[in-house]
Amino acid sequence: MNERYARQELVKICKLLYDRQLTVSAGGNMSVKINDSEILITPSGRNKGMLEPEDLVLIDSKGKVLSEGKPSIEHKFHLALYNMNFDTRAVVHCHPLHCVTLAVKGEKIKSNITPEGVLLLGDVPMIGYFTPGSKKLVEAVAAVGDHKAILMERHGAITQGRTLEEAYNRMEELEFQARLQLLCGDVEDLPKREITKLSKM
């Protein structure tokens, strides 16, 4: 992917996440892999709805900064996901209200109550609470890094995808499922046979 185009697309996704209230203030971080060794990531401490293409920070696959700016303190779990999943080209980390509500309550997201949840998300693990930016958080994310979406206790959510759009769609769907779960209360999953069928699609 061309760097200039990638900068424009990542900023577009950041603004969309902000407009959809999937992230607020300076919370969250988003990245996109532009080639096998370079990644664009959002800068530390900036409102995601106010970013310009030139604000994004270019880093290599080991975390070395290749441009102006300071990358998000969470860049190491982005790198962990890229380095362990060849198909992952984009990572989105946000603090969506309903996802965080479940994460604060310690309730696992039920992603098997609608077909879209099964198709877009699959099983969504929730890792324990670890200080943002810490090595322990990176290790915890990596331990479940083969999942499309991850919830972090008292923190937020992570999604990954083959494209920025796919990673974004998974975050939007994750928040929808969390809100649906909170509205519906105790509800049964789809039948196991249907979940298996959908998972293979």
Place of tokens 């992603």: 111
The residue among 43, 39, 41, 50 whose CA lies nearest residue 15 is: 50
- Long-range pairs of 107-110 with CB within 8 A, sequence gap ≥ 24: 107/181, 108/151, 109/149, 109/151, 109/174, 109/177, 109/178, 109/181, 110/177, 110/181, 110/187, 110/189
Catalytic-labelled residue, pool 9, 74, 172, 175: 74
Sheet holding 149-152, edge to edge: 57-60, 38-41, 29-33, 90-94, 156-161, 149-152, 126-127
Place of tokens 């198709």: 119
- Identify whether 52 is a catalytic site residue: no
The SS3 of residue 179 is helix
Degrees, nearest 5: CA angle 72-21-24: 40
User: Catalytic site residues?
Assistant: 74
